[in-house]
Chains A and B, each alone.
Chain A
Amino acid sequence: MLLRLWNLLCSLKLTIWLASLATLLTMVGSLLIHFYPSVFGDIEAGPLGSWLTGTGAKNLRLSFWLYLASGATLLLGINTLCCFLDWLPNWRSRWRKTGEYLIHLGFVFLVISFVWGSLAGARSDDQVIAVGESLSLEKLVPGSGYSLRLDAFEPLLGESGRPMDMLSTVTLLQDGQELMQQQVHSNTPLLHDGLVVIGRSYGSTVEGFLFATATQRDLPLRPGDTLEIADGGMLRVLRFYPDAMQRRDGKVFPRGAQLGDPAIELELIRPGSDPWRGWYHLRQSPPLQLKQAGVILWPQQPLLKSYSVFTINRDPGAALAMTAGVLMALGACVALFSFYRKRARGDRPDIA
């Protein structure tokens, strides 16, 4: 019984059946992927495992093929492994097929690494980090203590002004300790422990405003900044909204991150007077309290802060996939050379 099962698992005909089944199912499925973006549009937003248990399970009418093709590919992987194990003890007499069987082993590793990555991996395409700020990667790699800091950013523009590349200098930290620093740009991601960090897009956000005063030509003010004023007083910047909206009750709300109607919330502390706290809408005249305190702030221009949008994926099977790639490449080269030797010796294949 066991021997029959083993022979079946090592069977060449089973290989053909499974490969044909996986091929036909995926042929049909690939067209469904193309013509039903509402169902398959987010298939790459996360690892395949989470898609299969989420969107895929809810749309079985259209996604059934993927479960079947995955099953066929898994069985093909098992079949390939059995063929390899069947060959291995006979290596001394069948060593001329080493190249082909290295490709078999590589394929087995590839299937395992894909399953591993699909079940335990994580993907994220929209991680925004502003220059000087950090982002915790706990959601992607729970319990790792990883965070990513963007140290510098510079876009490379072409002659037409079109962005050609994005140079992001990032530092990977673990529990606050720097692990590695690298410049990430096209085809040069940050790679560490199955993590891959790739620059995807960039932009800038308004973080404050540049003012001129009676004594100072350029005075940048951002939330948290303080300014000493005459009579030992102090002006503190509490908040800044690039586009603010004031309700009828006087409360101010942010409308968006784009520059529109900028407003800055200030706190004025003067000895012998009650502190004043209020909003300065930069398109309007300054608040009376500032004028009375002798503080003159002429808005000049917004202070921009660059940010990068990163794709941050984690694939625990990536190293195994690379091993599979090396095995397959090695196998391909060995098979190529041994092919000509076999032909020269007049070897003919075994017929099933």
Chain B
Amino acid sequence: MIDLQTPLLYGAFGAYILSTLLYLLHVAIKRPLFWRLAFSLVCGGFLLQSTVLAIRWTSAGYLPVTNLFSTLFFFSWALAAIYLYFELRYRIAATGLFVMFLNLLLLGGAIPRDPTLSPLVPALDTPLFSLHIVFSFFGYAFFAMAFSLGVLFLIQKHIGTALLPETATLRKLNEEAIFLGFILFTLCMLFGSIWAYIAWGHWFSWNIKAVWSSLVWLFYAGMCHAKFIRRWQGTGYAWLSIAGFAVVLFTYLGIGLLMTSNHPLD
């Protein structure tokens, strides 16, 4: 079964590339058919990616999100899931183009890497680990979605195109993405802290990864409050979403790849 993962992965990548092209066509020539086809391809890609995840999970016997390949893959899968959530709930149409670009970057970054499943070290053999990473990457995916919505809000505000939803809708969606991301990231931090306590004896660590994860939480907690302040609504909130995602990217990739931490991405 595990041999199937590579063709399925390429299939998913191909589906996402095609959907991105169709979204671009939809932007250029606004036809519902292109959007429907693009959306169907995202659904197909997500289904293939889910199958790969299920195969890898079954083969490994644990949720395989332990190295750079698997985290990029899982992040991409979570982002596709979040995109589908917004698309099905709000029909965001061309708004999906930006998210699909991000998704392609993530999956494109994963594909050249080694997908080999390594035995799980006992320290990671706990449901707390699985809960920690699932909530973490879904939180990240919502923050990535908020980043996309923030960028699109700024574009819409400055050029005012009929291809994008109105700024009020984009603002609402952005707030929803931030709120849901914050809630999931809170759960990620809670499970991570409990796990750290039973694995290392302290629930908060001054390790750079733990510190920056706390910063991500604090930043988005601040954002959840900032939406109640008039000055920060709309444009300010969009810029905060962009800045927040920069913090997320540094926490996930910057620290994992460039620095020594207790969350290495090798």
Contact = CB atoms under 8 A, between A and B. Distances in A.
Interface of A: 12-13, 15-16, 19-20, 22-23, 26-27, 29-30, 33-34, 40, 43-44, 103, 114, 123, 156, 158, 164-165, 185-189, 191, 196, 198, 311-313, 315, 318, 321-322, 325, 328-329, 332, 335-336, 339, 343, 349-352
Interface of B: 119, 121-123, 125-126, 128, 176, 179-180, 183, 186-187, 190, 193-195, 197-206, 208, 211-212, 214-215, 218-219, 221-222, 225-230, 232-233, 259-260
Residue among A22, A158, A186 with the highest chain B CB neighbour number at 10 A: A186
Given A187-B125, A198-B201, A332 B211 contact: no
Residue among B121, B197, B208, B259 with the highest chain A CB neighbour number at 10 A: B197
A38 to B, nearest CB: 15
The dominant DSSP class at the B interface is helix
A196 B197 contact: yes
A114 B233 CA distance: 33
A70 B160 CA distance: 44
Contacts of B202: 44, 123, 313, 315
B229 A164 contact: no
A158 B119 contact: yes
B180 A336 contact: yes
A30 B208 CA distance: 6
B201 A313 contact: yes
B222 A19 contact: yes
Nearest to B185: A332
Nearest to A351: B230
B190 A311 contact: no
22 contacts: A13-B229, A16-B232, A19-B219, A19-B221, A22-B218, A23-B219, A26-B214, A29-B211, A34-B259, A43-B206, A165-B122, A187-B128, A187-B195, A196-B197, A196-B201, A315-B203, A325-B190, A328-B186, A329-B190, A335-B179, A343-B176, A351-B230
A332 B225 contact: no
A302 B187 CA distance: 52
Contact of A350 (B187, B215, B228): B228
A335 B183 CA distance: 8
